[in-house]
Amino acid sequence: MSAGAAAAEPLDATLRALSDGNRRAILEVVKDRPLAVGEIADEVALSQQTTSHHLRVLRGAGLVTESRDGTRHLFVVRTDGFEVVRQFLEGFWPDRLAALKAAAERAAKDHG
């Protein structure tokens, strides 16, 4: 159980990162090709400063990677962020089974 809790930490960061609509919009923009901050900002109609902030959060959560093309910093979706889907589902079932346990034990008590 404690291992599960530790594993859930980066996942929390991922889910927090994705809880923001602007960040989800940014992921959509960089899912096919690497783009510079200014290009991303134009696409999602945010300031460059705000876009930079969101990109930092997304990078911290492992959802985008940054590369360099000369002096330009380019961002693109990191496809192995896919791993978090699996991790999410692995956190999902223990929680649900705990709820099943509570519900069934309540029902068993009610039945006498």
Partner 1 sequence: MAEFTTSIDIEAPPEIVFDHLVTVDGMLAWMGQTAELDATPGGTFSVDIEGNPIRGEYLVVDPHHTVVVSWGLLGSDVLPVGSSRVEFRLTPIDAGTRVDLSHTGLPDDQVPPHAEGWSHLLGVLAQSSAATRGS
Return residues touching partner 1 (CB under 8 A).
14-16, 18-19, 24, 27-28, 31-32, 63, 77, 79-86, 88-90, 93-108, 111
Residue nearer to partner 1 on the CB measure, 38 or 98: 98
Q: Tell me the closest approach of the beta carbon of residue 66 to partner 1, in angstroms.
A: 16
Q: Tell me the closest approach of the beta carbon of residue 15 to partner 1, in angstroms.
A: 4
Q: Tell me the closest approach of the beta carbon of residue 53 to partner 1, in angstroms.
A: 18
Residue nearer to partner 1 on the CB measure, 5 or 70: 5
Residue nearer to partner 1 on the CB measure, 41 or 77: 77
Residue nearer to partner 1 on the CB measure, 43 or 71: 43
- Measured from the Cβ of residue 99, the count of other Cβ atoms closer than 10 Å reads 10
- Return phi, psi of residue 47, to 5°: -70, 160
CA pair distance 89, 43, nearest whole angstrom: 32
Asked if residue 24 lies in contact with residue 18, where contact means CB atoms within 8 angstroms, the answer is yes
CA pair distance 110, 4, nearest whole angstrom: 33
Say whether 66 sits in a helix, a strand or coil: strand
